[in-house]
Homo-oligomer: A and B are copies of this chain.
Amino acid sequence: MLSIVGLGLGDVEDITIKGFKAIKNADIVYLEIYTSFLINSDKQKLEEYYGKEIKEVDRIFIEEQNDTLLNEAKDKNVVLLIAGDPFSATTHVEIYYKAMNCGIDVNIINNASIMNSVGITGLQLYRFGETVSIPFFEENWKPFSFYDKIMQNYNNNLHTLCLLDIKVRERSVENIMKNKLIFEEPRFMSINKAIEQLLYVQSNNTTHSKIDFMVIGMARLCSKDQVIKSGKLQDLLNFDFGPPLHSLVICSPHLHHYEELFFNHYSQ
């Protein structure tokens, strides 16, 4: 059996009792480390709390070498741990599908993810439009498509949740070309960097008007030292949110009553 277990967002105790029991019954426990991470936790803390050995796995294992995991799940209890919810990332949906098609029993244990925890900003969840990912701009690669989606939501008076880029165990183009398994330092996009990129798009994209959006920055959401700060784009450009993970919401032009009260609360 394969159990795909969401860990929630904060620390070791954000796991559900059902998830905890699945780990206790597991023969093998994997921890996926490249689409997100637990804010106040790590492999060691999880191992101590669960009393189990945990194997960290990266993009290559999850996307290209998942046959190992699927073969093991045919006659063993295999648990795959994911920060947040099992279905936050497309990759896990693919593994779920492959497992079902191999006739493996799959047990999905859900948990909170950024997609619903963003409700702590006071913004109403049903008023969010399409979620966007903001990728790190490279020297020769500065895609603007996320901005079009933000504008589409904005013009429909909807909020946009922006997931900020995470680069974990990535290889440089040079090392990929040389077929070298040398990994770059992990990089997590800050709210400041995201705003900088949004302003860059506004300065270089003549099709949209420059809007000084109302935004809400969220750092380490659902952890003990979460920081939530609202303001205009320019207000938050240099605000220090501290360590990762960061996310950003672009608010709809018109806020409902309680949304406005919360926005003002978080701007102080």
Binding site for B on A (CB under 8 A): 6, 8-18, 20-21, 85-88, 90, 93-94, 96-97, 100, 108, 110-113, 115-117, 119-120, 122, 124-133, 152, 156, 158, 163, 222, 258, 261-262, 265
Contact = CB atoms under 8 A, between A and B. Distances in A.
Contacts of A93: 119, 122, 124, 258, 262
A17 B156 CA distance: 39
A17 B20 contact: yes
Complex copy number for this chain: 2
B125 A88 contact: yes
Nearest to A131: B126
Contacts of A122: 93, 96-97
B116 A88 contact: yes
A94 B259 CA distance: 10
A12 B6 CA distance: 17
Contact of A117 (B17, B110, B119, B131): B110
